[in-house]
Amino acid sequence: MVGKRDRVVLATKFFFPMGANPWDRGGGRRHIMDAVEASLRRLDTDYLDLYQIHSWDPHAPLEETLQTLDDLVRSGKVRYIGCSNYAAWQLARAVGVSEVRRLSRYESVQPRYNLLFRNIERELLPLCEYDNIAVIPYNPLAGGMLTGKHRGADAPDSEGRFGLGTAAERYRDRYWSDDKFAAVEALAGLADEAGLSMATMAVAWTMANPAITAPIVGASKPGQLADSIAAATTALDGDLYDRLNEITAAYRAVDVER
């Protein structure tokens, strides 16, 4: 396919129901194979650069999931495999099974990570540094909270992630609380002192962790990307970095569910 490899193609296999049949979901072999073929057709490509399992599936044997992914790598339809939303013990288990069975291993993990959700620092990030696993975190702006556009629990929450269909309730559960609004106010003050936008500061903080490969940023409007992109060339000085960590220390206490 001439000209169709001038881009990096990433696909993620979601565990939400993808059809009417009971096997149209999860980490079983049939669904993974069907999902990859569907992705190849939709993306009009002959292979995927990175294919990620969206979350841990307690109903599918881990060995079956990993063997299926290994078969896809060996067939050339997938170059590398990864996972998303895995706890540290789940990723460690998967890497161990791959090593023992000599299967392709997860080369990346995609966790939630930002100044208001730092639990992965305790176990997941050290594991990834030790085993050289790429970390490509999502939600570095906490659904827009770390841009400063939501200020106070009585602020309108109809915009962005907090008013987006079925995801809205999940995002409000994650971030819409008095303690997080208080943290955002304190962070806004530091951003003003540093002459940075809150978004640039928040993404730069994420990138400053040596375990992070690259954060995943998104925007509903093209203009919103400018501040996030600026973080790539913004180095936080040591004092600012320490103060950011101090203000948000409570959000790295323990590992919790997504």
Q: Is residue 242 part of a domain?
A: no
Q: Is residue 53 part of a domain?
A: yes
Q: In the prediction, which pLDDT does 1 show?
A: 36
For range 179-207, the mean pLDDT? 96
Q: Is residue 25 part of a domain?
A: yes
Tens of pLDDT along 118-159? 999 999 999 999 999 999 999 999 988 999 887 766 665 556
Mean pLDDT of the chain: 87
**Is pLDDT above 90 for 169?**
no
Q: Is residue 75 part of a domain?
A: yes
Per cent of the chain over pLDDT 90 is 71
CB burial of 201-222 (b: ≥16 within 10 Å; e: otherwise) equals bbbbbbbbbebbeebebebeee
Sheet holding 106-110: strands in order across?
A: 10-13, 48-53, 78-84, 106-110, 134-135
Q: Is residue 81 part of a domain?
A: yes
Q: In the prediction, which pLDDT does 96 show?
A: 98
d(CA 116, CA 206) in angstroms, rounded, equals 11
Residues in Cβ contact with 231 at an 8 Å cutoff, skipping those fewer than 6 apart: 199, 200, 201, 202, 203, 204, 206, 207
Angle between helices 198-208 and 178-194 (to 10 degrees): 90
Residue 3 sits in a domain whose CATH number is 3.20.20.100
- Dihedral of CA atoms 75, 212, 202, 112 in degrees, nearest 10, equals 50
Q: In the prediction, which pLDDT does 3 show?
A: 43
Quick one: 45 exposed, middle or buried, by C-beta within 10 A (0-12, 13-18, 19+)?
A: middle
Tens of pLDDT along 79-121? 999 999 999 999 999 999 999 999 999 999 999 999 999 999 9
Q: Is residue 61 part of a domain?
A: yes
Q: In the prediction, which pLDDT does 24 show?
A: 57
d(CA 9, CA 11) in angstroms, rounded, equals 7
Angle between helices 178-194 and 238-247 (to 10 degrees): 170
Domains held by the chain: number: 1
Q: Is residue 156 part of a domain?
A: no
Q: In the prediction, which pLDDT does 221 show?
A: 78
Q: Is residue 86 part of a domain?
A: yes
**Is pLDDT above 60 for 2?**
no
- The boundaries of the domain holding residue 45 are 1-110
Comparing 25 with 34, the larger pLDDT belongs to 34
